[in-house]
Amino acid sequence: MKKKISSFYLSDKTVLAVLFVALSFFASCKTSRKVTESKKQNSSTGLQDKDKITFENIFFDANREKLLGNYDMAETLFLHALQIDPNSAASNYELANLYALKKDKTKALDFSKKAAFADPSNSWYQMLYAECLKQNKQPEEVAGVYEKLVKNNPDRIEFYYELANAYLYSNKLNDALKVYDKMEGLFGVTEEASIQKLAIYKSTKSFDKGVAEIQKLIKTFPKDAKYYGMLGELYQSNGMNDKALQAYTDLLKIDPDNAFVHLSLADFYRSQKQNDKAFEEIKIAFKSKELDIDTKIKILLSYYEITNKFPELKNDATELCKILVEVHPDEAKSFAMYGDFLIRDKKMEDARTQYRKAITLDKEKYAIWDNLLITDSSLNDLVSMEKDSKDAMELFPNQPLPYYYNGVANIQLKKYHEAIDAFTEGKEFVIEDKLILADFYARLGDAQNELKNYPASDAAYDKSLENAQDNANVLNNYAYFLSLRKVNLEKAGEMSKKSNELSPNNNSYQDTYGWILFQENKYDDAKVWIGKALENGGSADGTVLEHYGDVLYKLGETENALKYWIDAKKAGGTSEFIDKKIAGKKFYE
């Protein structure tokens, strides 16, 4: 006979569940039974007939209010009943239940004790008293209650478990062992009791007794493979590797297809630094359909972490991923896991293939869509990103990032109205993340700027900076667009200067600041800043080269200006006036 017993101190939710069961037990009794029980109780209190009737009516009303959920009224009525019969065990018990529900541990203990003492033969009263003692952290008193329950109910195995738990909590390990031994004599060998005994033997370093306990389990349940594994682990933890290996070998004889055996062997070989053998055992386990996919995923997650430190194990992880998708071709998580390894190794195309397979099996997992969009973005596959993000938006309408990806794709595809719609709708789903919200507004500003909706664009950039005032990229872009329009140049200059402070030596930011100075006719200063941009990598940027040529022209260096304009045209990314500037050797705008 096996029975699973909870830990000694239960959570509040578990306590409530226990108490509700008790409440339901009494609630299910018919009225006539309640009256009969009350009469039995009252007959010993010497109540007059009139008082008996009054008590029973009040007790009945109290139970009705309790069942209706009117706990305050029930409490009042039960207290009234006790005024009539202070020795009523049932009233004390019901009040203890109510106070436990209200988490008043002190009152619950007080009334449960009165109920238990008023009727020592009632197991329900004793159990509630013990539970209240637990909640008030009085394990020795709990043990005392269960000692009596075991004595009065020798056939109730659960009481033995609770008594042993109470001893364990009080660190009376020998007393707990005696209870388990007595249980074994009465009910036979049980896994739960033996496992508890094994834990005690491990804590007291009683190795031989621990071995004997597991061997007893093996003898009782010879076809249960896990006990051989436990024996191997115990031997292994005590440095007895030969015996550990023998235990695992015996286990394979009992259950040769048991994947967990191979995992135990893998752990054994790894402890012996025989990594090749360990990996072979893991592969055998992975090829077994008997080993659940979640266990395999946990193993792969451990590889995900360890391969960051030991990259030489990446090939092993990849091989396990391939086995995973072969053995579990109908599980989306197998392909998603493989995709995660591939995306980490920057194999974006292969990763995207795995994520697409995962989605065909289960399109309801948002994390898979998120990674799919990351691969689209990394591959700069705008068409796929626009389509995949749109599908994700329909499936997960409250997730903001698909809207963001959709908007970004549409900007690049020059579908600005669609981009604006995506950013406008998506930002409403951003909750308490100012940085992401700032990105939405910044991109919205970009799209509005492309449509020359300048007031809307400026407003979006302002909102972006409200949420992330030190975003250098937004500061730069906003400043540059203002300089192109030759408006608010003072504001543009302040923002551009700040972006350069936040991100020094960025040629794009330096070029922007130089261009603002150019628009303010500060050509010498403009030459300095755009010159910095050239020195920091801008010499391959057509826009920077063209701007430098424009500055040189304004400073009277026409031939040098022409040279930079020609270089700018070769580099690409210039303004629409570049050919005219070269042909006329003159600045145009």
As a whole number, mean pLDDT of residues 122-130 equals 92
Q: Identify which has the larger pLDDT, 280 or 45.
A: 280
25 pLDDT exceeds 70?
Answer: no
Q: What kind of architecture, by CATH, is found in domain 470-584?
A: Alpha Horseshoe (1.25)
Cα 412-418-419 angle, rounded to 5 deg: 50
Cα separation, 553 vs 293, in Å, equals 69
Q: Across the chain, what does the average pLDDT equal?
A: 87
120 by DSSP, 3-state: which? coil
Contact (Cβ atoms closer than 8 angstroms) between residue 523 and residue 551: yes
As a whole number, mean pLDDT of residues 80-97 equals 91
Contact (Cβ atoms closer than 8 angstroms) between residue 333 and residue 358: yes
Backbone angles phi, psi at 290, to 5 degrees: -75, -25
301 pLDDT exceeds 50?
Answer: yes
E strand or H helix at 307, and its extent?
A: helix 293-309
Place of tokens 């004793």: 126
Picking from 516, 513, 575, 583, the residue whose alpha carbon sits closest to that of residue 541 is 575
Cβ-based burial of 174 (10 A; exposed 0-12, middle 13-18, buried ≥19): exposed
Picking from 127, 196, 189, 136, the residue whose alpha carbon sits closest to that of residue 167 is 196
494 pLDDT exceeds 90?
Answer: yes
E strand or H helix at 471, and its extent?
A: none
Per-residue pLDDT band at 210 (split at 50, 70, 90): confident
Q: How is the chain split into domains, by residue range? A: 470-584
As a whole number, mean pLDDT of residues 81-105 equals 91
Long-range contacts of 227-231 (CB under 8 A, 24+ apart): 228/254, 228/261, 229/260, 229/261, 229/264, 230/198
Per-residue pLDDT band at 339 (split at 50, 70, 90): very high
Picking from 547, 540, 488, the residue whose alpha carbon sits closest to that of residue 512 is 547
Cα separation, 550 vs 564, in Å, equals 9
Assign residue 505 a region (left: φ > 0; alpha: ψ between -120 and 50; beta: otherwise): left
Q: Identify which has the larger pLDDT, 246 or 225.
A: 246
Picking from 375, 380, 425, the residue whose alpha carbon sits closest to that of residue 398 is 425
Cα separation, 493 vs 588, in Å, equals 23
Helix count and strand count (H, E) for the chain: 33, 0
311 pLDDT exceeds 80?
Answer: yes
As a whole number, mean pLDDT of residues 218-232 equals 81
pLDDT tens digits for 182-197?
A: 999 999 998 899 899 9
CA separation, residue 465 to residues 187, 230, 430, 439 (Å): 73, 60, 16, 9
